[in-house]
């Protein structure tokens, strides 16, 4: 288990969804060696979103490697009724588990379950969901991270929806500073500076990192572009 304090820093979080799965461990090693410390894991169930990606087995396969490097496993559950999956992902080695507000009738309960499983708790919201949905769970003290989807969830390599910049700024304003703000979808060299300026401190990047010839170099370039200071 990696210290959740990593979440208060500024990080590009490579998403393994875009990695070459025939050599997943080697791809993860490339970004860890380049300094990546938050590894984003996209779980899709074929129900909340049409595609099916992978489950806890992928988390347990990578857990030792990521934790030995001091890395944090950031699981993004794009699944219906995520509260049913929390224990299994925690046991597989997740450090943080993010559930979609739209995927559960019991958001507070789901976040509490994540905390009780020993993980940091995140809520993700789709582009049409009012940002205010995070306010009550934040005020109730069960939230560590808000994930603002900047594309519709389910697929990598989509174009960032420009209204996301406004949503990020509004989220940053309504959340206490200790709650991390993550953005996911369409983050690349052209969009990373603006999402960082809008207040996101965790930038998920799938294709921008793993579709590059050198994922480690792409990770470093993106980080430098997002936070030039």
Q: Report, in Å, the least distance between residue 15 CB and ligand DX5.
A: 4
Q: In the Cβ-directed half-sphere of 59, how many Cα atoms lie within 13 Å?
A: 26
CA distance 55 to 23: 17
Give yes or no: 20 in active site. Answer: no
The phi and psi torsions of 83 (rounded to 5 degrees) equal -60, -20
Q: Which residue has the closest beta carbon to ligand DX5? A: 206
Q: Report, in Å, the least distance between residue 165 CB and Zn ion.
A: 18
String of contacts with ligand DX5 for each residue 80-119, x by CB under 6 A: ----------------------------------------
Question: Which residue's structure tokens are 């020993």?
Answer: 118
Q: Which residue has the closest beta carbon to Zn ion? A: 76
Structure-block tokens of residue 145:
């991270």
Q: How many helices (H) and strands (E) does the chain have?
A: 9, 8
* Planar angle of CA 190, 26, 218, nearest 5 degrees: 15
Options 113, 192, 208, 218; binder of ligand DX5; rule CB under 6 A: 208
Other beta carbons within 10 angstroms of residue 126's beta carbon come to: 17
42 binds Zn ion (CB under 5 A): yes
Give yes or no: 144 in active site. Answer: no
Taking the C-alpha atoms of 66, 93, 113 and 175 in order, what is their torsion angle to the nearest 10 degrees?
Answer: 0
**Which segment (55-63, 85-93, 113-121, 198-206) binds ligand DX5 by CB under 6 A?**
198-206
Q: Report, in Å, the least distance between residue 38 CB and ligand DX5.
A: 12
Question: For binding to Zn ion (CB under 5 A), which residues are involved?
Answer: 42, 76, 184
Residues with active-site annotation: 42, 184
Question: For binding to ligand DX5 (CB under 6 A), which residues are involved?
Answer: 15, 17-18, 40, 42, 76, 151, 153-158, 184-187, 204-208
């Amino acid at each position: 288990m990696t210290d959740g304090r990593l979440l208060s820093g500024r990080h590009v979080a490579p998403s393994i969804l875009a990695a070459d799965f025939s050599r997943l461990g080697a791809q993860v090693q490339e970004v860890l060696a380049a300094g990546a410390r938050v590894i984003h894991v996209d779980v899709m169930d074929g129900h909340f979103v049409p595609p099916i990606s992978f489950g806890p087995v992928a988390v347990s396969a990578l857990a030792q490697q990521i934790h030995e490097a001091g890395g944090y496993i950031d699981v993004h559950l794009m699944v219906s009724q995520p509260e049913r999956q929390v224990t299994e992902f925690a046991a597989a080695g997740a450090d943080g588990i993010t559930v979609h507000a739209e995927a559960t009738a019991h958001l507070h309960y789901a976040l509490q379950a994540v905390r009780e499983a020993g993980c940091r708790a995140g809520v993700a919201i789709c582009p049409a969901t009012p940002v205010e949905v995070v306010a009550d769970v934040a005020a109730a003290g069960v939230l560590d991270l808000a994930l603002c989807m900047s594309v519709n969830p389910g697929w990598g390599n989509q174009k960032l929806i420009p209204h996301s910049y406004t949503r990020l700024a509004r989220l940053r304003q309504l959340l206490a500073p200790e709650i991390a703000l993550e953005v996911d979808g369409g983050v690349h060299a052209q969009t990373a500076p603006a999402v960082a300026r809008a207040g996101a401190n965790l930038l998920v990047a799938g294709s921008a990192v793993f579709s590059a010839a050198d994922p480690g170099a792409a990770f470093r370039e993106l980080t430098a572009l997002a936070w030039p200071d």
